[in-house]
Structure 1
Amino acid sequence: MVTLGTVVMGVSDVERAVRFWGEALGYVLREPVEDGWAVLIPAGRPGPGLALTVSETPARDHPRTHLDLYAADAAEQAAEVDRLLSLGAQRVDWDRYPEDPDFIVLADPEGNRFCVIDTSHG
């Protein structure tokens, strides 16, 4: 059986993406950035890596692939959204929210969408 090793995300500025996602997730570089390519891994714990590679295409308004970041409850979700915004994330005016969402859609400094999920929600 295979396991998830790395999620790959295209970005225009690898160094900026490394700073944002490293701080956002508590990840560290697996090896130095080279040739427009970097892989972040969890610092001292198991989990998938996040590969960042140069892409010349813009982030999509309704991406087919994105990251879900889990929060334990609504209070943690709100605190994490505030923290991520302070790191450079932006709120997204998402036109596909359900009536009572358990997620908040944000975009990283590159415009890549991700969600912060309240895992205690219904």
Structure 2
Amino acid sequence: MLRIGSVVLGVSDVPRAAAFWMEALGYVPRDDAEDDWVVLVPAEGSGPQLSLGLSETPVQERPRVHLNLYAGDAADQAAEVERLVSLGAGRVDWDHCPDDADFIVLADPDGNRFCVIDTGRG
């Protein structure tokens, strides 16, 4: 049986991206980080790995794959969005977002888009 071992993001600055995602998720490097590659793992417990690899390809405005980060409810979502923005994430004004969306679209410092989901809506 296969399982997902790692989600990989292409980034233009691996150390900067690693610093952002470690603070955002509470992750640590699995091994010694390199200038062009690092695998991040949960500091406590198990969970999906996040691998960051040096990439020269441009960021996609509407990526086919992205991360969804789950928040407990609307208040948690708002607090997490503000925390992530303070770490260097940017808000994305996405015109495809429905009026009643349970998600907020952000971009990491490299421009990779991700969503923060309010899971309290049921």
Q: TM (normalized to structure 2)?
A: 0.97
Query: 1:35 and 1:18 mapped to 2: Cα distance?
Result: 10
Could you tell me how far apart the structure 1 residues matched to 2:14 and 2:61 are? 20
5+ unaligned residues in a row in structure 1: which ranges? none
Distance 2:81 2:20 in 1: 13
Residue 78 of structure 1 and its aligned partner are, at CA, apart by 0.1
CA distance in 2, matches of 1:110, 1:58: 10
Aligned equivalent of 1:70: 70
Which structure 1 residue ranges, 4+ long, deviate > 3 Å from structure 2?
Answer: none
How many equivalent pairs are there?
Answer: 122
- CA distance in 1 between counterparts of 2:104 and 2:44 reads 28
Measured against aligned partners, the alpha-carbon deviations of 1:48-87 in whole angstroms (never above 9, x if no partner) come to 1000000001111000010000000000000000000000
Report the TM-score when normalising by structure 1: 0.97
3-state secondary structure, aligned to 2:58: coil
Q: Partner residue of 2:81?
A: 81
Amino acid in structure 2 at the alignment position of 1:111: G
Contact map agreement 2:14 2:35 (CA 8 A) in 1: no
Q: Give secondary structure in 1 for the equivalent of 2:104.
A: strand
Percent identical among aligned pairs is 66
Mapped to 2, the partners of 1:62 and 1:25 lie a distance apart of: 23
Match in the other structure for 1:9: 9
CA–CA distance in structure 1, aligned partners of residues 61 and 35 of structure 2: 27
Distance (Å, rounded) in 1 between the aligned partners of 2:118 and 2:34 = 36
> What's the Cα RMSD here?
0.9
Q: Give distance in 1, aligned partners of 2:120 and 2:35.
A: 41
Deviation at 1:23, TM superposition (A): 0.3
Q: For each residue in 1:33-52, what CA deviation from the matched residue of structure 2 results, as whole angstroms up to 9, or x when unmatched? A: 12511000001211010000
